[in-house]
């Protein structure tokens, strides 16, 4: 039997901003991401997802717990880690061409000019931007700019790719395209990915495993294997019984109503408000009767 290695190990991670009397943003997070796995973290807004990512990427020193990448403790930003942020417009250099943006982080990694060029061109082909290498970010659509960010992260061949709401700033159609792109490239580059999102459907569609976070201070409330196989597509996968079941399960864990189809949710809202209105009217009628 082959042993599955752990790439990321988070143990008892906690962070309190502002010292003793300050704000506890995350509390006692413990989870692992296996090598080659795509794990998604889904949690309510403000629960501490960004704080967790900052702690994992060494940008802040957590006030409790421990993070290990490839077995080594994370103290400071590890060189074999890459991050893709939501806001592509602020993470790309507008004065550099697409190719130079992708090559940029490779400069500090000791690669020759020719190696940098060949790596950049390879990943740009993979994200479908081979023909845009000489353009500037501001000449591209938002979705294309986010492809550049993904290419730049992959060019570093990181042990772990962290993605913080990477598709939250693009339209729905582009979001689907980028999700499928991520599924293709993570296979091609055998990447280990930890992606944070507040979108339940996205987390299930992309992941091998979903961690569900509680409200702030965040802790893990569930660790779900996603048995949807390697071949996924936006229509049949999302229609499958397994997907629909998982979506309801995650929504219940998060205690939200968004697991329902919009029409069903709207119908329930109407039904509920009708019931509430009727109850109110009956109570008022009873009150009026009592006065008469
Ligand atoms: N630098 C900071 N100083 C003090 N409190 C902070 C700081 N950064 C975040 N917080 C607080 O910590 C909590 C968690 O914030 P965080 O940004 O990690 O959550 P999040 O889940 O990423 O939010 P969102 O879903 O809105 O992006 C929030 O209550 C926030 O106000």
pLDDT band at 288 (very low <50, low <70, confident <90, very high): very low
27 CA to middle of ligand 1, Å? 13
Q: Across the chain, what does the average pLDDT equal? A: 86
Give the 3-state secondary structure of 130-160. HHHCCCCHHHCCHHHHHHHHHHHHHHCCCCE
Question: Are 70 and 147 spatial neighbours (Cβ–Cβ below 8 Å)?
Answer: no
| Ligand 1 pocket, mutate which of 16, 51, 62 (most atoms under 8 A from CB) | 51
Which of the 8 DSSP states describes residue 257?
Answer: S
The gap from C-alpha 132 to its chain's centroid, in whole angstroms, comes to 26
pLDDT tens for each residue of 1-25: 556 799 999 999 999 999 778 999 9
Averaged pLDDT for residues 91-106? 95
CATH architecture of 1-70+191-259: 3-Layer(aba) Sandwich (3.40)
Nearest-CA residue for ligand 1 atom 28 is 46
Angle at which helix 172-188 crosses helix 113-126, to 10 degrees, equals 130
pLDDT greater than 70 at residue 131: yes
222 CA to middle of ligand 1, Å? 21
35/190 Cα distance (integer angstroms): 9
pLDDT greater than 90 at residue 87: no
- The DSSP-derived string for 188-255 is HTT--EEEEES-HHHHHHH-SEEEEE-SSSB-EEEEEE----S---TTHHHHSHHHHHHHHHHHHHHT
Nearest-CA residue for ligand 1 atom 18 is 48
Question: Are 266 and 273 spatial neighbours (Cβ–Cβ below 8 Å)?
Answer: no
The Cβ of residue 18 has, within 10 Å, a number of other Cβ atoms equal to 9
Q: Where are the domains of the chain?
A: 1-70+191-259, 261-292
39/115 Cα distance (integer angstroms): 30
More confident residue, 2 or 274: 2
Averaged pLDDT for residues 103-116? 91
- The DSSP-derived string for 80-119 is TEEEE-S-HHHHS-TTS-HHHHHHGGGGGGT--HHHHHHH
Could you tell me if the CB of 214 is within 6 A of ligand 1?
A: no
Interface predicted TM-score of the whole assembly (ipTM), two decimals? 0.96
pLDDT value of position 45: 85
What CA–CA distances, in Å, run from 194 to 32, 111, 168?
A: 10, 26, 16
Strand, coil or helix: 10: strand
Q: What are phi and psi of 74, to 5 degrees?
A: -90, 110
pLDDT tens for each residue of 153-167: 999 999 999 999 999
Least confident of 15-19, 168-172, 264-268: 264-268
Percent helix, percent strand, percent coil in the chain, to nearest 5? 45, 20, 35
State what percent of residues in the chain have pLDDT above 70.
86
| Beta carbons within 8 Å of 26's beta carbon, 6+ residues apart | 13, 14, 15, 48, 51, 52, 55, 62, 216, 217, 218, 219
Q: Which among 114, 104, 122, 185 is positioned nearest to 150, based on CA atoms?
A: 185
48 CA to middle of ligand 1, Å? 5
Q: Which among 206, 261, 259 is positioned nearest to 234, based on CA atoms?
A: 206
Could you tell me if the CB of 54 is within 6 A of ligand 1?
A: no
Could you tell me if the CB of 216 is within 6 A of ligand 1?
A: yes
Could you tell me if the CB of 187 is within 6 A of ligand 1?
A: no
Q: Which among 172, 170, 183, 168 is positioned nearest to 233, based on CA atoms?
A: 183
184/49 Cα distance (integer angstroms): 25
Nearest-CA residue for ligand 1 atom 14 is 48
Could you tell me if the CB of 15 is within 6 A of ligand 1?
A: no
Could you tell me if the CB of 45 is within 6 A of ligand 1?
A: yes
17 CA to middle of ligand 1, Å? 9
Could you tell me if the CB of 59 is within 6 A of ligand 1?
A: no
19 CA to middle of ligand 1, Å? 15
pLDDT greater than 80 at residue 274: no
Could you tell me if the CB of 25 is within 6 A of ligand 1?
A: yes
């Amino acid at each position: 039997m082959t042993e599955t290695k752990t790439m990321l190990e988070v143990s008892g991670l906690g962070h309190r901003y502002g010292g003793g009397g300050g704000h506890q943003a995350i509390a006692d997070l413990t989870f692992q991401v296996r090598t080659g796995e795509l794990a998604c973290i889904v949690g309510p807004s403000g629960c501490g997802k960004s704080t967790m990512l900052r702690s994992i990427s060494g940008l802040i020193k957590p006030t409790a717990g421990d993070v290990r990448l490839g077995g080594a403790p994370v103290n400071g930003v590890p060189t074999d880690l890459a991050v893709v942020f939501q806001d592509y417009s602020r993470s790309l250099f507008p004065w550099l061409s697409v190719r130079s943006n992708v090559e940029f982080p490779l400069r500090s990694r000791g690669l020759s000019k020719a190696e940098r060029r060949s790596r950049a061109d390879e990943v740009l082909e993979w994200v479908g931007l081979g023909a845009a290498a000489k353009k500037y970010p501001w000449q591209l659509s938002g979705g294309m700019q986010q492809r550049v960010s993904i290419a730049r992260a992959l060019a570093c061949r990181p042990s772990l790719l962290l993605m913080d709401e990477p598709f939250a700033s693009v339209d729905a159609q582009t979001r689907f395209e980028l999700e499928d792109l991520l599924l293709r490239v993570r296979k091609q580059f055998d990447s280990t990915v930890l992606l944070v999102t507040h979108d339940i459907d996205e987390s299930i569609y992309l992941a091998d495993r979903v961690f569900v976070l509680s409200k702030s201070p965040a802790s893990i409330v569930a660790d779900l294997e996603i048995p949807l196989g390697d071949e996924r597509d936006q229509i049949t996968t999302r229609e499958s019984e397994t997907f629909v079941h998982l979506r309801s399960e995650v929504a219940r864990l998060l205690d939200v109503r968004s697991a329902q189809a919009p029409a069903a949710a709207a119908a329930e809202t109407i039904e509920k408000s009708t019931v509430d209105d009727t109850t109110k009217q009956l109570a008022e009628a009873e009150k009026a009767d009592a006065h008469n």
